[in-house]
Amino acid sequence: MFEKEMHAGWGDMGFNSHMRNTAYLDKSGDVRMMFFSENGFSMNEFIRQRIGPIIMKDEMEYFRDIRLLEKIRVTLSVAGLSEDGSRFLMRNDFFLESGGLAARVTSMGGWMGLVERKLLVPPEALLNAVRSLGRTDDFQTLPSAVKG
């Protein structure tokens, strides 16, 4: 399982003195991009290959508050994948330093060709990186995003 340690910063806080919902989305995106970068797909590599991840839907679940400057552990796993890799479900779990699950973000996405501006099958190396992620207990096979 891929994971990163982070802190809830000042800019992550909302009016009710806990981490705001959009901060979860920001940290989820950061952890996804850290994973891709550490697996050979930095932003420059995405640009070079003229492909990029696109998120079409996020589902958020909250269990416990995360407060200012709390240390958190954010994991990344795959909850769904089409056989050709053109569509994915990635899940970020947010854990408190005590180990308790604070929140979960499940993101549905795919790979967009930056020239064609449509969903496509990712390069084999990128698909292999996604396949290397740990799978969730509720993993599902998704339909392809590519019509053919």
For residue 25, the domain's CATH number is 3.10.129.10
User: What three-state secondary structure class fits 18?
Assistant: coil
User: According to the model, what pLDDT value does residue 147 have?
Assistant: 81
d(CA 28, CA 15): 21
pLDDT band at 148 (very low <50, low <70, confident <90, very high): low
CB-based contacts of 132, cutoff 8 Å, min separation 6:
39
**Residue 144 covered by a domain:** no
- Please indicate, yes or no, if residue 29 is contained in any of the structural domains: yes
Q: What is the pLDDT of residues 110-122, one digit of tens each?
A: 999 999 999 999 9
**Do 89 and 79 touch, CB atoms closer than 8 A?**
yes
Strand pairing class (51-62; 101-113): antiparallel
Q: Average pLDDT, whole number, for the chain?
A: 96
At 6-22, the pLDDT tens digits run: 999 999 999 999 999 99
Give the mean model confidence (pLDDT) for residues 78-101.
97
Q: Report the number of distinct structural domains present in the chain.
A: 1
What pLDDT does 21 receive? 95
pLDDT in tens, 21-48: 999 999 999 999 999 999 999 999 999 9
